[in-house]
Structure 1
Amino acid sequence: MKILYLAHRVPYPPNKGDKIRTFNEIRCLGQNHEIDLLALADDPNDLSHKKKLETYCNRVKLFGLNIWKSRINSLAGLAIPFRPLSVSYFYNKKLQICLNQWMSEKTYDAVLCFSSPMAEYLFRCPALKETLTPRKPLSNSSQQVLIMDFCDVDSQKWNQYAANSRFPMSLIYEIEGRRLLEYEKIINHLFHHSVFVSTHEVEVFINLNKQAQKLTAVPNGVDHDYFSPDARFEPVPLREKEGQKVLVFTGAMDYYANVEGVSWFCRKVFPRIRSEHPDLLFYIVGSNPGPEVKALGDRQGVRVTGFVDDIRPYYRGADVCVIPLRIAAGVQNKVLEAMAMARPVVTTGKAFEGIKGKPDVHVLIEDDPKHFADKVVQLLNSEEKGKVLAGNARDFILENYNWQTNIRALERLLPLQPAAN
């Protein structure tokens, strides 16, 4: 099959949530199908990964996204009724021109969009003008299949931001949540298939859109050999004295939900744990920490690493991995990776919602700061309890989160026969 894949971020390196998913979709689908990739680069460094992506794709075209210009376009989009700010943010005229050209030159069996704002490029594509409009739904008998991988129900993430922010940002986030939900409904109505990262996200979308149809859950996976307790890599000395206990959180530290989560943990949870373990260290591991996160490193026992070449030594060196996210949707790869590395995990309910594991069997779950601290202390005080939890977690990941197996559910949405060229 010939597939055109649109991504709102360059799918390489696979070092954060959306990139991990897009890269593995391309990697797995590219084994049996011909993929042409169009993607936006919000990090100029990502433009250098074109050749790497060409090892998985037939052709690749990447477009730089000017962050400040996109933010201005996004705010200007407030004046356009009903249009989500995300659509204005991620719209690039050069990508549109390239898409229009490729669609006119080649007959694709499927077009796969990752993230709802990328649907705008298809809505503005002349080759789809007659069939893809809000007034005329796409015929299910059409040869060319359109697939939207929403991953998460993003509109609800904006609503969470609104609930945890102050005016005027709370109002802007609320507007975006409302507009994006209506946009998500239109996409679901017009595309052949809507894909989500978990059955939980499917249920969330159905509750918001009673007319929802053609929904498929395609779970994430984990590279079991890479994220393995037996993998070989250069160790990193995390302990500053013998017998010291270590907690680890990993994630992109310019992402609002991660910043809010570690800030809450440092204020409300970590001091309670440290009262039991005075020498305890908490490592915040991830790229692009802003001033708020860097300031956490001034607290006693908190270490902020910034970008690291290999995250696995931090997982392995952790006595407990903590995922204190209070804003979350979909599936948290940091939870899956920690479980795959056979580390005991304490997480919030929000961060574990899309994962089918069992509380107290595969991870410990708690939202109250005092009880969260208590559960971490339990694991720090009982090495045996941590080993049992970690072993269960690793076995669960091996059985349920395999990329090659899970992407087959996405592959089954492709047409049965290739288009005649």
Structure 2
Amino acid sequence: MSEILFLAHRIPFPPDRGDKIRSWNILKALAELGTVHLASFADDAADAAHLPALRAALGGRLGEAHVETRTTGKAKAGLRALITGKPVSLTLFDSGRMRRFVEHILADRPIGTVFAFSGQMAQFVPPGARLVMDFVDLDSAKFESYAEEGGPLAWIHRREARRLFAFERETAARAAISLFVSDAEAALFEGRAELPDADVRSLHNGVDLDFYDPQAVFPRMRRGEGPLLVFTGQMDYAPNVDAVRWFAETVLPAVPKARFAIVGRNPIEAVNRLGTDDRVLVTGAVPDTRTWIDAADLVVAPLRIARGVQNKVLEAMAMARPVIASPAAFEGIEAMPGRDLLVADGAEAQAKAIRQLLSDSVRAATIGAAARRRMQEAYHWDLRLAPLAVIVGTSMRAEAA
């Protein structure tokens, strides 16, 4: 029986950030289909140490595994990129050890499909292997957005966008199937790549509806004085940093008496400085984000740069909280604005929407309840990942025939 090799740019466990949430659920679903081997990077030694817990969570369904702590810094990767003409996204993750492990698995095991999670992992898949490429988002478009912001790094971002898109296009041309997290991302790639023979599909994210359940057991907190607005996310990630700075500086002043909690690990100095405002709280890492989502009067997602689907929005909706999202944060989410959440473009529109919901608790509760129902209707992970059996099973059926 065919086996699967799963490649990931970050160890897919624990599922405590956006990319790990998707990669973990996909890995778990693939393990139900057959033996899966894992090759992934880790951010540091603490991240790599999660491998035993990952094995235990899969209940013995994981074969060989190689988890490598990534040590190449951005400066070194940037120099390599200039010398080789490659995008930094590739040189940052390049590794001879990773390449040798992949070659070993392909030589020694009956691998029917290599499932690569995130574009930079495609560089380790040799020609001839059946590749399912989960791009998740169109990363080259993200770098285009960075370049449009201007500044001294704009030329670097433009170069990265060009070089990375060329690699994304080459990868999709040789992949058996290319996946994106939303129909919008898939359509954007297809329109730009112009590869009529490429099989490009969307594989949507879900949400853990048992965990993100307002009736679940988790630590609750007492609400303080004044309305609480909450943003959740990894706070060393540039789009999140941009979002909270912009919100604190342009939207929050137009919402009297409201407090703004920025909830997420690794806040950079620019985020920590926001906490000098009496109305802004920067929490850093918290034991359970549900505690803060549950305490929020409103959850805000004011991202100006975003790709794919925002798990933070899905999680807040699953928790039955009213969400106010920017158009970028709403893209790819299958819900009805005005019923399941509010979508507001720009500082004035967001401030107005927040003030209106804060003054109408009945409408806020109605939107929160509708959000939870929408997640229950369409966002179970089992439903979202059901196509994996066909995506991976193609090679298994051909082999059996």
Match of 1:398 in 2: 376
SS where residue 178 of structure 2 aligns? strand
* Contact 1:107/1:419 (<8 A) preserved: no
Give 1:215's aligned residue.
200
Q: Could you list the per-position Cα deviations for residues 237-267 of structure 1 after superposition, in whole angstroms to 9, with x for gaps in the alignment? A: 351x3xx211100000000000000000001
Deviates more, 1:213-222 or 1:410-419: 410-419
Return the alpha-carbon distance in structure 1 between the equivalents of residues 201 and 210 of structure 2: 27
Question: Given the alignment, which residue of 161, 165, 177 partners 2:161?
Answer: 177
- Alignment match of 2:354 (pick from 363, 369, 376): 376
Unaligned 5+ segments in structure 1 are 132-143
Report what 1:138 is aligned to.
none
> What's 2:55 paired with?
54
Deviations 1:278-332 (A, max 9, x none): 2x21100000001000000001210000001111011100000000100001000
Counterpart of 1:316 (choices 282, 291, 294) is 294
1:159-189 Cα distance to aligned partner (Å, 9 max, x none): 011112402x111011000111111110111
Assess if the C-alpha contact under 8 Å between 2:14 and 2:54 holds in 1.
no
Deviates further, 327-336 or 229-238: 229-238
Structure 2 contact 114–125 (Cα < 8 Å) conserved: no
Question: 2:312 matched to which residue of 1?
Answer: 334
Residues 74, 86 of structure 1: 8 Å contact kept: no
Letter of the structure 2 residue corresponding to residue 79 of structure 1: I
- What residue in structure 2 maps to residue 140 of structure 1? none
Pairwise CA distance, 1:32: 2.6
**Residue 289 (structure 1) aligned with residue 267 (structure 2):** yes
Q: Which residue number corresponds to residue 397 of structure 2?
A: 417
The CA distance in 1 between the partners of 2:80 and 2:109, in whole Å, is 35
Give distance in 2, aligned partners of 1:307 and 1:231.
21
**1:117 maps to what in 2?**
120
Amino acid across the alignment from 2:76: I
Return the offset for 1:418: 7.3
Q: SS at the partner of 1:408?
A: coil
- Provide the rounded CA distance (Å) in 2 between the counterparts of 1:254 and 1:268: 21
Q: CA deviation at 1:67?
A: 4.8
Count of equivalent residues: 392
The corresponding residue for 1:45 is 46
In structure 1, which of residues 72, 93, 96 is the aligned counterpart of residue 99 of structure 2?
96
Partner in structure 2 of residue 73 of structure 1: 77
User: 2:81 is aligned with what amino acid?
Assistant: G
Aligned to 1:196: 180
Q: 1:18 matched to which residue of 2?
A: 19
Secondary structure in 2 matching 1:412:
helix
Whole-Å separation in 1 of the counterparts to 2:64 and 2:78: 30
Q: 3-state SS of the aligned residue for 2:386?
A: helix
Q: Deviations over 1:346-371 (max 9, x none)?
A: 01000111112111111111121011
Preserved CA contact (<8 Å) 1:152 1:330: yes
- Two-structure CA RMSD over aligned residues (Å): 1.4
* TM-score of the pair, normalised by structure 2: 0.95
Letter in 2 for 1:113: A
- In the TM superposition, what is the alpha-carbon distance from 1:229 to its structure 2 partner? 0.7
Runs of 5+ consecutive residues of structure 2 not aligned to the other structure: none
2:229 counterpart (225, 247, 254): 247
TM-aligned CA deviation for residue 80 of structure 1: 2.0
Task: Letter of the 1:84 partner, please give it.
Answer: P
In the TM superposition, what whole-angstrom CA distance separates every residue of 1:25-53 from its partner, at most 9, and x where no partner exists? 01122123211000001132111111122
Correspondence list, 1:117-156, <5 A: 117-123=120-126, 128=127, 131=128, 145-156=130-141
Q: Which residue is equivalent to 1:237? A: 222
Q: Is 2:329 the counterpart of 1:351? A: yes
Q: CA deviation at 1:382?
A: 0.5
With normalisation by structure 1, the TM-score equals 0.90
Q: 1:85 aligns with which of 63, 66, 88?
A: 88
- Is the 1:347–1:364 contact (alpha carbons within 8 Å) kept by the matching residues of 2? yes
Corresponding residue to 1:265 among 233, 236, 247: 247
Q: Secondary structure at the match of 1:90?
A: coil
CA distance in 2, matches of 1:8, 1:368: 34
